[in-house]
Amino acid sequence: MAVTLKEGVYWVGAIDWNIREFHGYETKDGSSYNSYLIEDEKIVLIDTVKKYLFDEFYGRIKKVVDPEKIDYIVVNHVEMDHSSSLEKIMEISKAKIITNQKAKEHLELHYNTKDWEYIIVDSGDSVNIGKRNLTFVKTPMLHWPDNMVTYSPEDKILFSNDAFGQHIASSERFDFEIDYTLDSAKEYFANILLPYRTLIPNAVKTVDTLETDLICPSHGIIWKENISKIKEKYLEFASNNVINKAVIVYDTMYSSTEKIGLAIAEGLIESGVEVKVFKISKTPVSKIIAEILDAKYVLVGSPTLNINLYPEVARFLKYMEGLKPNKKIAAAFGSYGWAENATKHIKNTFDILSFDTVDDECLTCRFVPNEEHLKKCQEFGKKLAKM
């Protein structure tokens, strides 16, 4: 069913209970594609849903209005998880599309748009729909060049598109109904918005100028009771601030690389550092990146395989490289047989990310580390904690 957010404003999105992968990372809690309907003198639909959930989406709209009577469709962002039902709803409604110039360009590259009529808006522009005046603010690169947000001052609602989202499939619609919302928002930020974090403070500053009772993102739940908290968290996520935490990430063939990583972890723990240890092949990469977001130390381990990295480690490094986390103190470790090469590849990624690399002879081991070697690794962890 449609959910009433305020008088004349409804959530009409779709819930993706079964999705477990999005943009290359695991979505263990599913997701939702949030679309919003405003019933005024003009009927306005804000964003759509993934096309395979069109029937669910269409059914919710019909609970409120005749879809043929939709006057305007606001496209805040063209990515297909928000726009791939647009062609179908346009065939039914013949609505005008309200969007920005860059989004119009993207729509024309995605769909057959020759018969579509547009109202092109820029930051600060408003469109009157009766009792309401919808205002638009462009937010380029959060996280595509076409992104914008829509604000209804009369309702005090910000339709924020991908900003402030989370991947949660739930029958609940509001933040106060789910107790893991902020954790999901952190993971979402780390895996979607992290490369563009320098733009976040201005985005939050823009939100601060708006009187908001609700922030309605395009994924997950709606912020109502924790608006101040999520804004505060976004500034925290976007900062270069770290806590005294080490994230140790590795994969292993015959446990040698694992033994080195666990010995280093023991030394760090003894020195009072919070430690998270992840075997890549057993852990969703999205979870690892969320932990790296505020970590002071990042240690990556791999055995040398065919003079190269272990495949899961290579995949992780390339994923992390694309997300560009803030500067860390880093170390590469691993085992080898006749030629050590894995740590060279790991350090190359550290260099690309401008991490401060720390070296030590104990960080590599030929075949199997003995007790003396592991003691040196433990001592290295203690030394690292003092940096």
Catalytic (active-site) positions: 23, 77, 79, 81, 143, 162, 188, 219
Which residue has tokens 């001052």?
Answer: 153
- In DSSP notation, 83-107 reads HTTHHHHHHHH-PEEEE-HHHHHHH
Q: Which long-range contacts (CB under 8 A, 24 or more apart) does 51-59 make?
A: 51/80, 51/84, 51/85, 51/88, 53/14, 53/15, 53/16, 53/85, 54/85, 54/88, 54/89, 56/14, 56/15, 57/12, 57/13, 57/14, 57/33, 57/85, 58/88, 58/89
Strand 157-161, strand 148-152: pairing: antiparallel
Q: How many residues does the chain have?
A: 387
Q: Where are the alpha helices (DSSP H) in the chain?
A: 54-64, 80-83, 86-93, 101-110, 181-188, 200-208, 227-238, 256-270, 285-292, 311-323, 342-352, 371-385
40 three-class SS:
coil
Single-letter residue type at 119: I
- In DSSP notation, 294-349 reads TEEEEEEE---BTTB--HHHHHHHHHHHHH-PPP-EEEEEEEESS---HHHHHHHH
Q: Are 70 and 36 in contact (CB under 8 A)?
A: no
| Residue 201 CA, distance from chain mean position | 16
Q: What is the CA radius of gyration of the chain?
A: 24
